[in-house]
Chains A and B, each alone.
Chain A
Amino acid sequence: MKVIKLTFTVLCIGLLSSSCKESFLDLKPLSNPTADNFKTTDDFELAVNGAYASLYTVYHPEGPVSYANEQMSDNAIMFNISGIQADKWQFKDYSLATANTMVYQFWQDCYKAIFNANIVLDRIESANVSATYKDGVKAQMMFLRALYYFNMVQLWGDLPIVTTPLTGEESYSVLRSPASAVYDQIKKDLIFAAEKLPLASAITMPGRVSKGAAQTLLGKVYLTLGDKTSAATVLKEVYNSNQYSLLTNYSDLWGPSVKNTKESIFEIQFLGGNASAPFSRYYQTFYPNNNFLGFYGGGMNQVTDDLYNEYETGDPRRDVSIALGYNNAGTFINQKYPIKWTDTKATQVGGNPLSNNNFMVLRYADALLLLTEATGDATYLNLVRTRAKLPKFGDATYPTAKYPTLDLAIEHERRTELAIEFNRWFDLKRTNRAIPVLTAKGKAITQMKLLWPIPQIVRTQNEAISQNAGY
């Protein structure tokens, strides 16, 4: 007994000497906030910005939209790109394996982006914030979710539709829905967004989604679904909204300090000069893989001669968009690369230029070309051509022999106007032109290659997930 008493006494001394409380073990992270703070509008602003930041991965210069639109089309090649080259080249030669690590990475990135929007939508439902604020946040998140799903459905076709945060267990029961259901979800989100979002002129935080952005994207979605009437209606609203206009010169669109212009409808925001800020990576990634500027370029989206030659003689857009090559210690290397996002004065840290250039996802010229596509009226297309100081479609000097129909004229115009802006492959798919155009250029494209495979790992984890035909 004595021993027990003494033990007890000693342990008590111990308890007193060191604060033995459960709270001693309740250590909150010191360098990360935790997920239970979603309460005030300030909290939600942080989460909303986080959801916008997913644009950085989806529209990364080496992201899914870039690989699909530029590498899988006739616009660009890769040269000495770093990383797992074999997996990257599978996009180029249409030999995507189900084990392709890039495809899997993109799948993860896309669903992470969806999650970042879904979590805000989920938490704001029960939050004690004003109804107006709630609708505004929801509309923005729905736009982002629609944008991500729109890219994904074009890449993979049928998709698991996730609209709420899922636990690991719940996510096993969500299987692929038909592409049409995905499009229904996209339309639903965009209609809500277009209704609740303010006009561009009423946006106080540059870069936030506007009504016009939701409408333009909705127009593109309708066109993709073949619904030209609805597309025309919604794009006309954009046209008539008086919110957007073409800049005087094509070259005015580009430059590290050109941001959120009148022509910009939805634009990803970057901030250069600081390694810990989200700086722009297009400049470096699209530079040839050589360090003639003191940093290593990424060699991504090196321009094909085919794209270079697509420009009509005298088209000022060509030399604004594409460099012929570079000078390396006195030797000129003929390797064409995109220069729309050039920032020669960018601060360099760790061999990386911290560029400032924004990236436009949707711009007015795009909307005008879509409107011509929806209406069959060349007026809007000709606005774009006039800005480029080129003859209008229908004019005698228009290269009619080459582009005899309006459809071909639109295809040509979109390719040159929107070169390397991540549109080409989706445009060709939307207009059912991918196979004829690319086959004519000797590419081994087939119907099944128009969709990416569902990554092998996804199907290993959940065998109930189906695979795309042909893979």
Chain B
Amino acid sequence: MMSPSLPYRRSWRVGLVFVLLCFSFAQIFGQGRSVTVTGKITDETGKGLPGASILVKSSKNGTISNQDGAYSISATENAVLVISSISFETQEVPVNSRSVIDVSMLPSNKTLNEVVVVGYGTQSKRAITSAVASVGFNEFKDRSFSNVTQSLAGKVAGVNITQAQGAPGSSPIIRIRGVSSITAGTNPLFVVDGVPLENFNLNLINPQDIESVDILKDASSAAIYGSRGANGVVLVTTKLGKPGKTNISAGYEYGIQTVTRKVPMMNAQQWIGYYIDAHNNAWVDQNPAVNKASDPNSVRPSTYRIPDDFINNPQQFGNGTDWQDVMFRVAPSHNAQLSVSGGTEKTQFLFSGAYLDQQAVLDENYYKRLSLRTNIKHKVSEKFSLGLNLGATTIFDRTEGTQGKSDVISLAIQSDPIFPVYNENGNLGYRDPNSVWSKYIAYNDLNLWHPYSLTRFYHKQNKSFNTLGTAFAEYSIIPDLKFRTSISGNLFNTRLNSYRVKNQGYGYSGLLPAEGNVQTSYMLNWLSENTLTYDKQFGDHSLNVLAGYSVQKQRDEFATVTSGSFPNDLVETLNAGVVTSGSSTASEWAMISYLARAQYNFQNKYFLTAAIRRDGSSRFGTDTRWGYFPSVSAGWMISDENFLKDVKFVSSLKLRASYGQTGNNQIPNYGAISLLGATNYVSGSALASGLTIGNIANTNLKWERTNQLNIGVDLRVLNDRIGLSAEFYNSVTRDMLLNVPVPDISGFSTQLTNIGRMQNRGVELNLNTKNTTGKVVWTTDFNFSTNRNKVLQLGPGNAPIIYTDYVVAVKTEVGQPISNFFGYVVDGVFRNQAAVDAAPHYSTTKPGDPIIRDVNGDGKITTDDRTTMGNFQPDFTAGLTNTVSFKGFDFSFLLQGTYGGEIVNQNFRYLGFWNNGRNMFASVDNRWRSEANPGDGTHFRATLGLTGLQDQFHSLWVEDASFTRLKNIRLSYTLPTSLTSKTPFRVARVYVNADNVYLWSKYTNYDPENTTYGASNYSSGGNGLNASGNAPNGAFIGVDYGSYPLPRVVTVGLKVDL
């Protein structure tokens, strides 16, 4: 009677539509005798299906099936029951005077009628012709992560989600189908309930409020988001209640987090040995003819002196302090949730509140989040409906250790193990002038950055407030033609207060005065959107046309104030000190868009979609700010053809092909304009304001464009027992927004220009099988993806682009993937002088120094011997999920892995060779000591002098980033009705969830997913550069310069429905 492919949001809503449309029939035929109908709703395996909605058509009467799938409802004998449940096809069953009606539900994906959110609308899965991945709530419901995308890692082919930093609330890096840009941002566009938000922090949306996450992977599906679609689009849709009985759901979970992998560092004895060696070797090197390792301090300059205790009585230090044990702890978390949802045919609602209180594994760090949501939709009349989605989130957190080398975690690792956690006065460090340890102040090359000096003697709190609201109205102008208008606003405020206690308990590397700082930021983004949808079926033809117009604008403000000269530590607000500096900045962007899309199908068998968007953006040159982004796609349900209808083996087979163009607009807000920066001078005792030009203007600056071809096939065989989806894509990004190097004699090093081309091509496979059905249901999902990234063209003369940051160099050149690690190859350690003399070597090389490979074979070691040493991009990634259900038990585990990529252990720069007396990797204990004691042939001799290119970027810094991770294990048990029926709860479920359970990896630091530099991000007025300002962040993905470990998280929880 009805088309099963109407683009309504979810199948239960399709059911709702049936109800509405049949309303009049009920009126006409009147009412019959009332009966009580009971029965059981089961899934396709015969298992009771709890939570299914049973509605008496054309009435307000409804109920929900209980834990075992049983229900009871009163209805007239000629009524029709509408039974719906998420992920199942809605069914209508006439009562026909029966009193027992059992209904077996069919999974909606079985018939491909599941509805997928595709941007500015929905589409039945059957009609999807592009590459869209859809993940429903059930896939992540018990996971412990605060950001929903963290729970998707390893589950979606072609979507690489890596957790760069393990701190609570730290968002993962998401790369959809490779890296499409060198300089511009590579984060996907996030669209929350229809609001496109660049670089949005999904921690601000409670995962428990999310109904589905849909990821637009190819250019055809993302083209409707035009200039922001090139990195893919992540659509997040929040929940809304169902008509019927009000559902009250409550949950509580308790978790613990532990650091499971430590970085093996030297103990005090090993480190003292290293320290002595380094000083003696350097001292002898100074003048080998005269100086001896046994020379006393009295004849040595201060640089070469060794504390007497190290020589005379090193045993007094024992094994010393393991600073990782000091700073890390087993951290608890609590998460409480309450939601109320329900409604009538006219009004549906969801109210929810959740509070997460998570301690971090790092001392004094925490993450607390209160999220509140109210979603309401109300039908004013048959033609007119209104709605509001409003989410408010407050986060109080203290998050440190994620900023690399000079942040708490890394500094603690660098600290020397000889120092105690507390000195004899109860203070933290040797800089306490009244401590016996103060004698070590005389040595410039002893280091202590006590973690407590930064956590307990440096007070910090970050407060964030986010409100995201969308109000919308829909009006049916004529049947089939609907107008929708919406106004959305996202208001985000943060406030970071910090206060550094004077002298920091004597635990820091210096005695610093007290200092207070306040930073505030403000962001307001508003969007006005108007669309018109025409949806019509003419016989075998079905047509859906969308036209729309939107305007969006964002303003960011930032302010900071610092105070010093605090008289004491009693008052920490800035008024107690003297303000020493302050600043504020602001920036804006705006966008106007027109969009149109037509979806057509014939006999629900041949599908065609075409879309176009026109965007105008303030970020680009006045002459080039408008761009068109077209796309087209087609699908063919071959299995519906007569020649396949009789092939029982094939349940369904669909071919898809798409081609489209998307853009990338992620550059600085004023990237096209030549900006002046304050460059003040002084005259006498007065400031003389000055300005200099900061960048070259480019009024022709335009979008980066990506054209992508996608070919896919969806096959289900053996009565849907086996499903396979395969995709191939080829995308070429052109007019890349590249900071092209220009000769420095122009006064500038780079100019932001549209130049160059880059290719990403890859294959994605999704295989899901139902291994057993019946009492024990076992399903397996496997996904595999591989992407090849290749630069096709760069700036003038295709000159390679080399970015260097703290010795590590990455090189981007034509014919290669972007950001190859670029340095020397080390082939071991010179055993003796004869070996040095026999081989090409750098001038300062001594026995025990690295054997640098003469790559170009010219007999000399020069900078020309640097070569490619790897790349962070993996050869392939895979994920495997197994789920087993038996009676009330559900068990699943997820294995994920990435293979063939490399990671730079940039910590080598200060933990792998002498760097002013920092602690060392434990492996350095196997170093070359003498010809007779050459160590493991990998680790260099100790020396302050760093001879023979010891300190250059070389192959020992580069490690295999391949890993397999037991990412998740879940076990849940639903209490049987026999138990719950004695309680007020309809459903009660307990579960255990473990994330980051175990890691198989050869990486010697914390985690091969660690990367200190995330994707380039130009939001909120940022310049997208890394901390040292030397390169765009994105160029250094895969470089670990001191990171936060990914803790293992185990949570136990209880969820009940009333």
Contact = CB atoms under 8 A, between A and B. Distances in A.
A215 interface: no
Contacts of B740: 168
Contacts of A112: 744, 747-748
Contacts of A95: 843
A247 interface: no
Contact of B581 (A2, A37, A160, A349): A349
B483 to A, nearest CB: 6
A271 B747 CA distance: 26
B317 interface: no
B549 interface: yes
A31 B586 contact: yes
Contacts of B444: 80, 289-290
A270 B684 CA distance: 8
Interface string B526-556: 0010101010000000000101011101000
A35 B746 contact: no
A116 interface: yes
A348 B589 CA distance: 38
Nearest to B562: A349
A3 interface: yes
A300 B444 CA distance: 15
B302 interface: yes
B689 A49 contact: yes
A14 interface: yes
Given A10-B483, A24-B592, A32-B677, A274 B581 contact: yes
A470 interface: no
A52 interface: yes
B676 A32 contact: yes
Contact of B512 (A80, A206, A278, A351): A351
Interface string A277-305: 11000000000011100111000000000
A35 B680 contact: no
A191 B547 CA distance: 69
A460 interface: yes
Contacts of B692: 47, 50-51, 53-54, 116
B901 interface: no
Contacts of B673: 29, 34-35
Contacts of B741: 457, 461
Interface stretch (A59-67, A236-244, A331-339, A408-416): A331-339
B687 A277 contact: yes
A92 B589 CA distance: 49
B330 interface: no
A115 interface: yes
A26 B618 contact: yes
Given A25-B590, A34-B673, A98-B863, A17 B694 contact: no
Nearest to B686: A271
B689 A275 contact: no
A174 B692 CA distance: 23
A206 B806 CA distance: 40
Contacts of A360: none
B319 interface: no
B583 interface: yes
Contacts of B580: 274-275, 347, 349
Interface string B428-448: 000001000011011011000
Interface band, chain A: 35 or more
B512 A294 contact: yes
A50 B682 contact: no
B326 interface: no
Contacts of B471: none
Nearest to B698: A168
B442 A333 contact: yes
Given A6-B481, A14-B549, A119-B693, A49 B680 contact: yes
Nearest to A162: B745
Interface in B562-589: 562, 564-565, 580-589
Contacts of B804: 101
A18 B743 contact: no
A171 B746 contact: yes
Contacts of B442: 328-329, 331, 333
Contacts of B674: 34-36
A98 B866 CA distance: 14
B587 A29 contact: yes
B815 interface: no
A129 interface: no
A35 B693 contact: yes
A349 B516 CA distance: 10
B675 interface: yes
B522 interface: no
Candidate in B445, B510, B583, B584 with the most chain A CB atoms within 10 angstroms: B510
B511 A294 contact: yes
Interface string A29-58: 111111111000000011111111110000
B96 interface: no
A30 B673 CA distance: 12
Interface in B793-812: 796-797, 799-800, 802, 804, 806-807
A14 B550 CA distance: 8
A262 interface: no
B683 A86 contact: no
A463 B444 CA distance: 44
Nearest to A288: B444
B815 to A, nearest CB: 17
A19 to B, nearest CB: 8
Given A269-B683, A277-B680, A20 B510 contact: no
B690 interface: yes
A30 B703 CA distance: 23
B528 A271 contact: no
A46 B587 contact: no
Interface in A214-271: 259-260, 269-271
Contact of A26 (B510, B622, B681, B807): B622
A172 interface: yes
A85 interface: yes
A112 B806 CA distance: 23
B617 interface: yes
A274 B749 CA distance: 30
A86 B747 contact: no
Contacts of A86: 946, 951-952
A333 B302 contact: yes
B208 to A, nearest CB: 34
Given A79-B303, A115-B748, A294-B513, 14 more contacts: A14-B530, A14-B549, A22-B616, A25-B618, A27-B588, A31-B584, A108-B744, A168-B696, A207-B684, A207-B688, A290-B444, A347-B564, A347-B580, A463-B797
Interface of B: 301-303, 433, 438-439, 441-442, 444-445, 477-478, 481, 483, 485, 509-513, 515, 528, 530, 532, 534, 545, 547, 549-551, 553, 562, 564-565, 580-592, 594, 616-618, 622, 625, 669-670, 673-677, 679-694, 696-697, 740-749, 751, 753, 796-797, 799-800, 802, 804, 806-807, 843, 862-863, 916, 946, 951-952, 1021
- 4 smallest A-B Cβ distances: which pairs? A115-B747, A49-B690, A168-B742, A35-B674
7 contacts: A25-B591, A53-B690, A112-B744, A167-B696, A168-B751, A207-B688, A278-B682
